[in-house]
Amino acid sequence: MAQRGPDMRVLDKYVLRRFLTTFLFAIVAFVLIVIFVDMVGNLGKFIDKSVPTSIIFKYYLFYIPQVVSLILPMSVLLAAMFSLGQLARHDELTAIKSAGVSLNRILLPLFTLSVAMSMAAFVFNDRAVPAASRKKSEIEMQYLDAQKKYSKTRIENLFLRDSLDRRVFIKRFDTGSNIAHQVTIQKYQGNRIVERLDAQTMNWVNGTWVLSNGYRRKFENGREDAERFASLRDESLTFTPEELLEKQADPEYMSSAELNKFIRDVERNGGDPKKWLVSLHFGYAQPFAIFILVLMGSPIAASKNRSGAVFGLIISTMIYLLYFGISRLVQTLGEIGILQPLHAAWLTNAIFLVAGLVLLALMRK
């Protein structure tokens, strides 16, 4: 028994080294492939518009965090399948189990590492990815086709802040006519609201926003003064329709704290935050796909009869596509209200967790 501790540490290091070597190769390969494919599509546009090489470099530098976030679960799954598949194919797992070590114990370091990677992935997705995505989007807006992102004719639940510390909430915006519907504009001094405008519509007319059919409320010394208006031209609203679209709330560009605050603002202004609630909960749930997929793939890879490299690639791809196919389906069900946002976010993880535990129980002997 005195010898068992050091032996297990050596075994853990050996399994982790095989796993991490494959993982690093997979993630670097995926990043290079995705960037290369994107360059094929966009490099001609950069050249046509005489974009400096330094800007192109920054564009792809800011693109890397988003790519890593997307391909991290697949890279981890492939690493688990290939590293364990090699151990099984060379009878190393058989030899280890013959020494009295269970499959659960062999897989323990991978499960522990995948949990740690899931937590690290959450921090990475929450901090690095939104910041980098915002900078990448700014380059796209400045140098590429800015209008392609806004091809929708109607956009709902827009929210922005302007330079005068005002918060503008728009229930619906028609991009063709530049007419906003159900508009609320709140002006703040510090944390105190001092003025609020509520209008049925807001039109972009000759370079100025014109609000129609609403109320103007001022708050001072504990008093509220309300004035109804049929039409109000507000030249202090300096943002254009194009800038309004650029600043529309996109969960891809917000951390969980920013998204939480945005959801509260939407609720206070009478909007429906369902879409953003789903995105918020998915932001918490999706990083744990790393652990879930390792749990799902590891017992399959550890089976000697199913340990070929081609088999590992096929099964990894099938598991990955099945996971994210179901995830996308339940996300849509959450956004349209069939599922609660919390349930939609975690349902796929729950399904694959149960499936992984069943597989582990069936194949651990």
Q: How confident is the model at residue 2 (pLDDT cuts 50, 70, 90)?
A: very low
CB atoms within 10 A of CB 35: 15
Share of the chain above pLDDT 70, in %: 90
pLDDT at 330 over 50: yes
| Whole-number pLDDT of residue 164 | 64
Type of residue numbered 108 = L
Tell me the per-residue pLDDT of 24-61, one tens digit each, with 9 for 90 and over: 999 999 999 999 999 998 888 888 888 899 999 999 99
Mean pLDDT over each residue of the chain, to the nearest integer: 86
Put simply, whether the predicted model's pTM sits higher than 0.85 gets the answer no
| Whole-number pLDDT of residue 163 | 62
| Whole-number pLDDT of residue 145 | 63
Domain boundaries, the chain: 4-145+280-363, 163-238
- CA dist 102 and 365 (Å) reads 7
Tell me the per-residue pLDDT of 131-183, one tens digit each, with 9 for 90 and over: 999 889 888 877 876 544 545 567 877 877 776 678 888 888 888 888 999 99
Tell me the per-residue pLDDT of 215-262, one tens digit each, with 9 for 90 and over: 999 998 878 899 999 999 988 887 888 777 766 667 778 889 888 887
Least confident of 192-206, 255-269, 288-302, 313-327: 255-269
| Whole-number pLDDT of residue 309 | 65
| Whole-number pLDDT of residue 239 | 81
pLDDT at 111 over 60: yes
| Whole-number pLDDT of residue 191 | 77
Q: How confident is the model at residue 284 (pLDDT cuts 50, 70, 90)?
A: very high
| Whole-number pLDDT of residue 362 | 84
CA dihedral 103, 106, 111, 116 (to 10 degrees): 170
Contacts of residue 1, Cβ cutoff 8 Å, sequence gap at least 6:
none
pLDDT at 323 over 80: yes
Q: How confident is the model at residue 4 (pLDDT cuts 50, 70, 90)?
A: very low
- CA dist 316 and 307 (Å) reads 12
The mean pLDDT value for 301-311 works out to: 67
Q: Is the Cβ–Cβ distance between 304 and 94 less than 8 Å?
A: yes
pLDDT at 280 over 90: yes
Contacts of residue 242, Cβ cutoff 8 Å, sequence gap at least 6:
146
H or E stretch including 269?
none
Cα within 13 Å of Cα(212), Cβ side: 10
| Whole-number pLDDT of residue 200 | 95
pLDDT at 5 over 50: no
Q: How confident is the model at residue 305 (pLDDT cuts 50, 70, 90)?
A: low
Type of residue numbered 318 = M
